[in-house]
Amino acid sequence: MTKQRLIIQPGELSLDDIRQIWHGNVLLELTESALADMAASSAIIQKIIQKGDAAYGINTGFGKLAQTRIPDDDLELLQKNLILSHSVGVGEALSEAVVRLVIALKVASLARGFSGIRPVVVQRLAEIYNAGVTPVIPAKGSVGASGDLAPLSHMTLTLIGEGDAFYQGERMSSKAALDKAGLEPVVLAAKEGLALINGTQVSTALALNGLFLSEILFKNAVLAGALSVDAAKGSDAPFDPRIHEIRGQPGQIYAAKLYRQLLKNSEIRNSHVENDTKVQDPYSLRCQPQVMGAIYDVMQQAMTTLLIESNAVTDNPLVFPGKDGEPDQVISGGNFHAEPVAFAADMLAMAIAEIGSLSERRVALLIDTSISGLPPFLVPSAGINSGFMIAHVTAAALASENKSLAHPASVDSLPTSANQEDHVSMATFAGRRLIEMAQNTATIVGIEMLCAAQGIDFHAPLRTSESLQKVMGEIREIAPFYSEDRYLAPDIEGITEAVLNAAVIKALPDLFTI
């Protein structure tokens, strides 16, 4: 596939731009104006050095060592030592998709021209991205304040020809990867190492990864939930627009519209409209617009925060050119503190956990013949067959795990750097744990799809709606009707993968644009 070029307009990345980066569909290109702004910012750093003034991170040590003055002849060595000493991450490497986001967000931030870094360095970082060289960035080791120092240092190792990287699926030394890609490592000048490793780009990339996964989960869960309504011969009356309009919550109104569209003209629903013996359905069916709508609204709030952060300048110190005769200034601040990202990731954790929690309750409902009216555990000849009995146990186990993982990371703080950095956000973990939570919830929703499809099939020859028949077709491509006990784990694995890669959603490509 020929990749399009994404021109980085500093401060103007859209969410669609970021999604394209996540999917690996674009190459990065910098504007001439961004190159000029970075050159002007870098020139200010050189003036400070020539003048001999002490400035944090330019000709001083770092953190608690800020009072230590560094001789001019050692400034390049200072930056290299900074990267080497801060590359202390541990754990598995971040995925290629997350690393793409990390690099692109760092390029976009530096390109705004407030970081005192030469254009050639940022261009080389973009070239590394474009060449498909993926720095090995260990997932653990950042507290989300003073920047994502350790993981961004591992990113920068590749830029300077140190550490490891992946190239064409193979792990090798960064120097070897650069050689294969036809690129040279760079030598960092004053302030440039600090500009590269200060910032919230890893936390933000992980949270964005969680956001995009949560969007996929939301859509799948709406499809699964609508199937479950028909499988359990539930009512569509709770989705009446009048109910939701008088409450006024926008996500709830949107979700109710989705369920109405999905259940429209279902033969199963029409078969029991007149003689429905149930006064009200359980909450997991009836209150889907209220719960899923609230989840949608929380996702939108997180999206707003993360889009702002994706375009932000978050390193330290920052370089401000003088205006109207005022002198140039280098100002130390705290934009590297990732509290906004931590809060956004915590909101996404709640959303992902609740998607799974509601889905698990519908699985429990469907296998309970006293509530659903379906055969026990959704299998003929229950007793000799156990059906979906233990599939529900798996869903329950994963939902319970998510409850623990959803605990707010942002309420934790552990001082670092000899108490200089005495309050931290834990945003990196807040974003990273969303990956495991999303995988858990994808399995729960997948199990619900299997159960709901089983319930729909029990109502034959009555058919569900035209929309849900398309969803059923995707599910049955993965797992046939469960007529007797069989090895069920491959079905669960297959449907989980279909949830995560949005295969089921593709059956209704226009639904979520209504």
Q: At 270, which CATH number?
A: 1.20.200.10
Listed in sequence order, the residues at least 6 apart from 246 whose beta carbon sits closer than 8 Å to its beta carbon are: none
Q: Is residue 253 domain-shared with residue 150, that is, in the same domain?
A: no
**β-pair type (329-331, 318-320):** antiparallel
pLDDT value of residue 514: 63
pLDDT value of residue 10: 92
* CA–CA–CA angle 26, 35, 340 (5° rounding): 65
Q: Is residue 254 domain-shared with residue 282, that is, in the same domain?
A: yes
Residue that terminates a domain, selected from 152, 174, 198? 198
Q: Is residue 445 domain-shared with residue 299, that is, in the same domain?
A: yes
Q: What's the mean per-residue pLDDT of the chain?
A: 94
Average pLDDT over residues 90-111: 98
Gap between the Cα atoms of 306 and 348, Å rounded: 11
Q: Is the pLDDT of residue 396 over 80?
A: yes
Q: Is the pLDDT of residue 147 over 90?
A: no
Average pLDDT over residues 45-50: 88
Gap between the Cα atoms of 25 and 2, Å rounded: 8
H or E segment and range at residue 365: helix 339-367
Q: Is residue 172 domain-shared with residue 296, that is, in the same domain?
A: no
Residue that terminates a domain, selected from 162, 180, 198? 198
Q: Is residue 242 domain-shared with residue 118, that is, in the same domain?
A: no
Q: Is the pLDDT of residue 181 over 80?
A: yes
The proportion of the chain whose per-residue pLDDT surpasses 70, expressed as a percent, equals: 98
Helix then strand then coil, in percent of the chain rounded to 5, is 60, 10, 35
Q: Is residue 239 domain-shared with residue 97, that is, in the same domain?
A: no
pLDDT bracket for residue 211 (50, 70, 90): very high
Q: Is the pLDDT of residue 66 over 80?
A: no
Q: Which residues are catalytic?
A: 56
Average pLDDT over residues 442-457: 98
pLDDT value of residue 281: 94
The dihedral formed by the CA atoms of 435, 440, 446 and 450, expressed in degrees to the nearest 10: 170
Structure tokens that stand for 343 in this block? 């809060």
Q: Is residue 231 domain-shared with residue 179, that is, in the same domain?
A: no
Which of 214, 252, 281, 222 has its CA nearest to residue 448?
222
Residue 111's domain comprises 4-198
Gap between the Cα atoms of 211 and 309, Å rounded: 13
Helices 427-458 and 339-367 meet at what angle, rounded to 10? 20
pLDDT value of residue 207: 98
Q: Is residue 246 domain-shared with residue 359, that is, in the same domain?
A: yes
Cα dihedral across residues 490, 491, 494, 496: positive or negative: negative
The 10s digit of each residue's pLDDT in 253-312 is: 999 999 999 999 999 999 988 777 777 899 999 999 999 999 999 999 999 999 999 999
Cα–Cα distances (Å) from 367 to 362, 455, 474, in that order, read: 9, 9, 22
Structure tokens that stand for 157 in this block? 């190792």
Count of domains observed in the chain: 2
Q: Is residue 331 domain-shared with residue 478, that is, in the same domain?
A: yes
- DSSP code for 405: H
pLDDT bracket for residue 63 (50, 70, 90): low
Q: Is residue 163 domain-shared with residue 287, that is, in the same domain?
A: no
What does pTM read for this prediction? 0.95
Average pLDDT over residues 371-384: 94
Q: Is residue 216 domain-shared with residue 190, that is, in the same domain?
A: no
The 10s digit of each residue's pLDDT in 301-359 is: 999 999 999 999 999 999 999 888 888 898 989 999 999 999 999 999 999 999 999 99
Structure tokens that stand for 15 in this block? 């969410």
Residue that terminates a domain, selected from 140, 170, 198? 198
CATH label of the domain that carries residue 107: 1.10.275.10
Q: Is residue 212 domain-shared with residue 154, that is, in the same domain?
A: no
Gap between the Cα atoms of 126 and 66, Å rounded: 31
